[in-house]
Structure 1
Amino acid sequence: MWYSFVMVAVFGLVFQQFLSYRDWVDWSTKDVMNVNPGACETIIKEGGSEDITHIGNGIMLMSTGFGFLGPPGKMKAVDLNNGNKVITLNMTNIPSREDFLSSPHGITTWRDPDTGIFSVCSDQLFLYVVTHPPSEDHIEVFEVLKSLTLRYVKTIKDPKFDFMNDLVAVGKDKFYITYFARFRDYNRYMMETLMGMKNGAIFYYDGHKAREVASGFHLPNGINISPNKKVIYLAEAAAKKIRAFRRDSTNNLVEIWSNNIGTIPDNIDVDPDTGDLWIGSHPIGWKTIDTYFGSIPPCQVLRLKMHENTISEIEMIYQNDGTECSSSTVASYTAGKMIIGTVHAQSLVCDVGYLSKN
């Protein structure tokens, strides 16, 4: 009798997990409708641009070459004011390590507000890059010079930096960073994903060490901050949710809302003028997983219109079946142009002819 009860309970749990996984990967969805906001130009044909950030004046920085156990990646820039020109950035002062800039992932920048006042150097800008060497994750820190050269500054390590994804700087060498999954080994990582294990978390690094400030997430991905620096936004990929957290005086996080957006969100870009969130996302999850068997993952870009740091409306800006853009991870918008990045395929720049008003 007890054996039968246990078997029924186990079957019920397994079946429930199967239904949850089926819904997450959009098993019944085969195709998407193509949506373009205007003319689009392919600026990178392969190699991807996993994360992108706008540093002002139409200059976008991007991390390219994401892929575990592959060759070192590169940092590139796109000049939207100069024919969407792509520039591979030169680096100086770099360390002689074989694992340097291995699989560059999430990026963030921080502009020092004190420079230009009492400092000889003006407008000092720092770039932080999540990388994935074989044994542990690193944060590589660069100063972005006026010539768009990257001067290596330091490598930040911490015992908690195991399998990280994205980060957002809130001060010099201070940032929030997403702990994506517990296991680095691919087989155990897939088990963790399939079983719905909520091992993901957000850590705060204070310049010396990291500490957990939020937890219990299933594959937390992109992270960013509101223009007023009071709210942290998180893309929880496996839950198809955007979560918002209030920062307290000690940099701990208190969740204030979560919203299911019906698609797998990747990175989050925040419009500094409107506060709107631009999300690179994956509308058919199983095609993203099934790439090794020939599937072409589609692309999707959503604009989450914000009012007082909460979502007022969701607007689809771009969607493609994968022929023009495959597996979108990020989108950034400025002055009527949108740049879209992918895991390891194309990068696009699109004219945005129309945006609804807030």
Structure 2
Amino acid sequence: MKKIALYFLILIFGLIAFIFHTFSSTGYFRDIEPKHDFGEIFQTINLPGVEDMALAKKDSFLILSVDDRAKRRAGEDGLHGLFLLDLRQTPFETKEISVPENLTLYPHGISLIEIGPSQYQLAVINHVDGKHSIEFFRIQDGNVQFDRTLQDPLLISPNDLVLVGKDKFYYSNDHGNTSKLGVFAENYLGVAAANVGYFDGENFRIVAEDLAYPNGLVPDQSGEKLFVASSRGFLIRVYDIQENGDLVKVEDISIGSGIDNLEIDESGAIWTGAHPDLMTFSAYASGKKEFAPSEILKISYSKGQSQVESVWLDDGKTLSATSVAIPFGDYLFLGNVMDSKFLILKK
């Protein structure tokens, strides 16, 4: 009888420890005190679920990845697709990008690379009916045309991607498991079972493993290093890029927030939209909470001594669940997972 009672107590204490670890490691106990240091809200644009953006600095435009996830969660068909935002005049206006009638597009992570004068390649992660693909587009002088579709079994659960050359890109599988138990273990136990893949123009292969919910990716200005966000790990993993595209781990940068997409500015600093409380974000994403907190971080990388600066923090009432932050001139463009609008801040 005493042994049974002892086993029962051990089980109870183990369960309590698991619950406490899950909540503490996902930021649930963090105090969210709004801080809007970057500047004032310059403009609010009513586009839902602008989860990712891609900037063409030279030609001054943004491509927006739009998906009204809140309506889809409710079983309705909300707005979804790609939009172009012209940065040359204010107030800023967006224009929907037309796609072929036979292409259903629910975009997620996107990436843009210049391949010639006023010529770009755009790659888009697409999720349709549980299937994953990469959609390629060509942009010439602001005109966007669909190119082709890529599919592969190694697109397990693609979240974000970054072009590192024409037809070449890295991408994150935010989960390595597809079973309910495996996904639960990754989400709540923090099991690092996900990975990063690489497409070399001809073939897919996995080049980095043992990551906890990898998300945004961006190379440094030299193209010699790749930064990968680990949302569940609250860190950025730094890799050296090998000549054949393989990755060699350098170090982890502790961030203290559930970082999402990564962007790099002209000075080499990394900008990210983040989820400081992943438990509240999860409840928000499933419709159980009205708001989810948001954070914008600026990371200055230096091996072994990187600096992390929180430049914007909100309880979610101004903007919920930020996922991307892109600076351009005096402006900062803030996207999110499923709010009804996105924000433009001005210094």
Q: Give the superposition deviation at 1:77.
A: 2.2
Q: Which amino acid aligns with 2:135?
A: E
Show the counterpart of 1:251.
Answer: 245
Q: Which residue of 1 aligns with 2:105?
A: 101
TM-score normalised by length of structure 1? 0.85
C-alpha contact (below 8 Å) 2:52/2:261 kept by paired residues: yes
Q: Distance in 1 between matches of 2:6 and 2:149?
A: 54
The offset of 1:160, in angstroms, is: 1.0
1:274 aligns to 2:267 (yes or no)? yes
> Which of 282, 288, 297 in structure 2 is aligned with 1:289?
282
Unaligned runs of at least 5 residues, structure 1: 116-121, 353-358
1:49-69 alpha-carbon deviations (Å, 9 max, x no partner):
101121014322110115367
Stretch of structure 1 that moved more, 23-32 or 326-335: 23-32
- RMSD over aligned CA atoms reads 2.6
Give the match for residue 83 of structure 1.
90
Whole-Å Cα distance in 1 between the matches of residues 109 and 135 of structure 2? 11
2:296, 2:311 within 8 Å by CA — same for their partners in 1? yes
The secondary structure found in structure 2 opposite 1:216 is strand
Q: TM-score, normalised by structure 2?
A: 0.88
1:211 aligned partner? 205
| Match among 335, 343, 347 for residue 342 of structure 2 | 347
- Following TM superposition, by how much is the alpha carbon of 1:335 offset from its aligned partner in structure 2, in angstroms? 1.3
Q: Which residue of 2 aligns with 1:144?
A: 139
In 2, the alpha carbon distance for the partners of 1:252 and 1:15 equals 41
Query: Which residue identity lines up with residue 120 of structure 2 in the other structure?
Result: L
Give the distance between the partners of 2:259 and 2:290, measured in 1 at CA. Answer: 19
Q: Which of 173, 179, 197 is residue 191 of structure 2 equivalent to?
A: 197
Instruction: Note the C-alpha offset of 1:250.
Output: 1.5
Do the aligned partners of 2:62 and 2:84 also contact (CA within 8 Å) in 1?
yes
**What are the within-5 Å matches in structure 2 for residues 312-331 of structure 1?**
312-331=306-325
Residues 63-118 of structure 1 show CA distances to partners (whole Å, capped at 9, x for unaligned) of 011536755622112233311423223325x2514xx212x110101222xx4xxx
1:6 and 1:203 map into 2 onto residues whose CA distance is 44
Instruction: Provide structure 2 residue ranges, at least 5 long, that are not aligned to the other structure.
Output: none
The question of whether the paired residues in 1 share the 8 Å contact of 2:197 and 2:206 is answered with: yes
User: 1:1-358 maps to which residues of 2 (within 5 A)?
Assistant: 14-29=15-30, 31-56=32-57, 57-65=59-67, 67=69, 70-71=77-78, 73-91=80-98, 94=100, 96-97=102-103, 100-102=104-106, 104-112=107-115, 115=116, 122-146=117-141, 148-183=142-177, 189-190=183-184, 192-271=186-265, 273-291=266-284, 292-307=287-302, 312-345=306-339, 346-352=341-347
Indicate the larger mover: 293-302 or 7-16: 7-16
| Cα distance change of structure 1 residues 135 and 155 upon mapping to structure 2, 3 Å threshold | same
Task: Give the share of equivalent positions with the same residue, in percent.
Answer: 21
Cα separation, 1, equivalents of 2:79 and 2:342: 19
1:278 shift after superposition: 0.3
Q: CA deviation at 1:37?
A: 1.7
Greater strand content? 2
